[in-house]
Amino acid sequence: MFGGGKSFTLFRVRGIRVTVDLSWFIVLFLVIFWLSGFYGELLDQPSGATEPYLLAVVSAAGFFGSIVLHELGHAFVALRNGIGITRISLWIFGGVAEMVRESDSPGTEFKVAAGGPVVTALIAVVLIAIGVFTVGWSTFQDALEMRITADTTGVMAMIAWLAAVNVIVLAFNLLPAFPMDGGRIVRAIAWKITGKRSSATRFAAGLGRIFGYLFIGLGIAWALSGAVFSGVWLALIGLLINGSARAAAVQTKVSSRLEGIRVGDIMDEHPVTLPASTTVDRALDEYFLRYQWSWFPVVDGSERFIGVSVKDRLDEIPETERSVSTVAEHLEENSGAINVSQEALLESLLGNPDMRKFGALMVTDQSGKLAGVVTVEQLGRALRPS
């Protein structure tokens, strides 16, 4: 849930970029600092001992891994439903799998929202099963409750802590507070019942704002009672939830004007296209120079869309090679994926990064043939009040 600010890439998983904001390291530092003291007290070892510190570091790494797996749960379900993932971002208040577009149906919305909690639940179940099988329920329960008197090893205490923290993450994310996972599940259910995404989003956002105010109030109460750090933390989360829910409600007010409109209803049905076999010199002279456009959709002999030809890229080709090179050999990278179905709802294009990059998306029919082009200008006209 949520998203951070500036970040850098840690690694990639099946092409998905996992990035981390510097604020995330504050969380890791606090977890290691706190758990070092807890493990030291549990194992009756002096301050600065190696074993408690190593257990704390591994625990923090396990916590980090749990959050990444949670977001990958969302990401993989989204990818299976045809929704691209730009990256997974981690920051001080959690993580988010950033999707290129919204879900196009309540069923897809439900599955994507539930993907993360399902992974977290599985992690918790596996860890609890390991603990119970190894030391029995009574002993493992003491470790789960982080009792200093628990008769357990450091490794088992670490497993119990990771199990407990995943249960907490699961419970917190399932609260019906949009934009958290539980709030998105509520939106999917309301969307299914009403048949209207905008109404469902307003309902879920309203719940999100209520929970945001509750978190703020509870956080202030905790802070005044002496639990300053926990109280401030909860109040900040409340502020974030409230702000995100309010922003979603505002965006929905705008996007509701697009409700029920299909891409095919507003697209340009007769765009100028470049045949894939066109040579680069001919494309520059007869298309780019004539129409003064910066790009053209490229189609094969069956009129199937295969990508976009961009003038700046063709200009870089040496003049001696332009007469023997075709535009199909110099398509913009990954441009074959910037297409959308003519049956897609227009509101699903809001926030699409390819729409921002090219100013348009290629519209294809069920066979992949180019049916038209939908532009930012057309989307903007549809958004204007009538």
pLDDT at 196 over 70: yes
Supply the DSSP symbol for 326: B
pLDDT at 3 over 60: no
pTM above 0.85, yes or no: no
**Burial, 19: exposed, middle or buried (Cβ in 10 Å; 0-12, 13-18, 19+)?**
buried
Lowest mean pLDDT, pick from 5-9, 118-122, 163-167, 278-282: 5-9
- Domains of the chain: residue spans and CATH: 7-258 (no CATH), 263-383 (3.10.580.10)
The predicted pLDDT at position 254 comes to 63
pLDDT in tens, 284-339: 999 999 999 888 999 998 899 998 999 999 999 999 999 999 999 999 877 666 77
pLDDT band at 258 (very low <50, low <70, confident <90, very high): low
Spell out the alpha helix ranges (H) of the chain: 24-42, 50-80, 106-135, 137-144, 154-173, 181-194, 197-225, 228-255, 263-266, 280-283, 289-291, 311-315, 319-322, 353-358, 376-383
- Rounded to 5°, angle at Cα 91 from 237 and 104: 80
DSSP code per residue over 131-198? HHHHH-HHHHHHHHTT-TT----HHHHHHHHHHHHHHHHHHHHTSS-TTSHHHHHHHHHHHHHHS-HH
Query: What CA–CA distance (Å, rounded) separates 198 from 209?
Result: 16
Select from 182, 230, 231 the least CA-distant residue to 210: 182
